[in-house]
Amino acid sequence: MLRRRFLRTRLRNRQLLLSLFHGPALANRLVHRYEYRQRRVLMRSQPPSVQIEVTNQCNLRCVQCLRSNLDSSFRRGSMRFEEFVRIFRQFPYCHAVSFNGFGEPYLNRDLFRMLHLVHRARPHVNTVLFSHGGLLDEARARSTIAAKLKFLHVSLDAGSEESYARIRKGGDFDTVVQNVARLVQLKRELGSPYPLVGVAYTFMPENCEDPADAAMFVRLARELGVDFISNFSLLETSWGHTGKLG
């Protein structure tokens, strides 16, 4: 049911359809797909989608996250707006931009300026955020809608407060649920199709302890009225670091 609702919403959304029919971006995507299938080492096409880490800071310490489990020596901070502009301009044919890495994107003070820039410069581009949802208060929710963000994935990873507490250290389950519900309601009140809101569930030992947790998550998603559900499986990797996970 959520899948059908997501597809209906997307088909009604003319701006999202622009990403499919924008000439240069579509041509680049087709060439890229051909070169990828041919396993070309040197490609004429550009990446059809890019991921730009606008911050590596986060106010949670989630058990599955690399930055929580390793004693990392890398410097932490947020990308300046000018640096984002410089990077974004290098990919004129992309059809999707994700604002994620190992940080919480809402901690970047320039996030909404970045989103507005992408929408004004290339309205056909799909903008994507993954967030833990804890910082999505009413002010940020309204700014998110105004910035025409296309997709927002809220990483909930639990169907109950107990499972959530085992995973997202420093977060509050009820706050996130209330934030998602308010965003969905604000979209309705403002008559905005943006953003398509989904909740994400990553399967891991901490939420698989209770076999009913995933079913509770799906029921919660329906109650919240989100547009889609996304799910992932935990893949542990050291990313070249020598620290120990878990």
pLDDT in tens, 139-165: 999 999 999 999 999 999 999 999 999
Band (pLDDT 50/70/90 cuts) for residue 25 is: confident
The Cα–Cα gap between 147 and 20 comes to: 21
What pLDDT is recorded for position 71?
Answer: 57
**C-alpha R_g of the chain:** 19
At residue 243, the pLDDT reads 47
Q: Counting beta carbons within 10 angstroms of the beta carbon of residue 240, is it exposed (0 to 12), middle (13 to 18) or buried (19 or more)? A: exposed
Virtual torsion, Cα 106, 111, 116, 118, nearest 10 deg: -110
β-strands 168-169, 228-233 pairing: unpaired
Show the beta-strand stretches assigned E in the chain.
49-51, 61-62, 96-98, 126-131, 151-155, 168-169, 196-203, 228-233
Q: Quick one: what percent of the chain has pLDDT higher than 70?
A: 83
Q: How many residues does the chain have?
A: 246
117, pLDDT greater than 70: yes
- Give residue 147's pLDDT: 96
Check whether 19 has a pLDDT greater than 90: no
Mean pLDDT across the stretch 42-69?
88
Q: Which of 90, 166, 178, 167 is nearest to 138 (CA)?
A: 178
Nearest CA among 178, 155, 181 for reference residue 168: 155
pLDDT reading at 245 higher than 50? no
How many Å apart are CA 188 and CA 183, to the nearest integer?
9
Residue 227, pLDDT score:
95
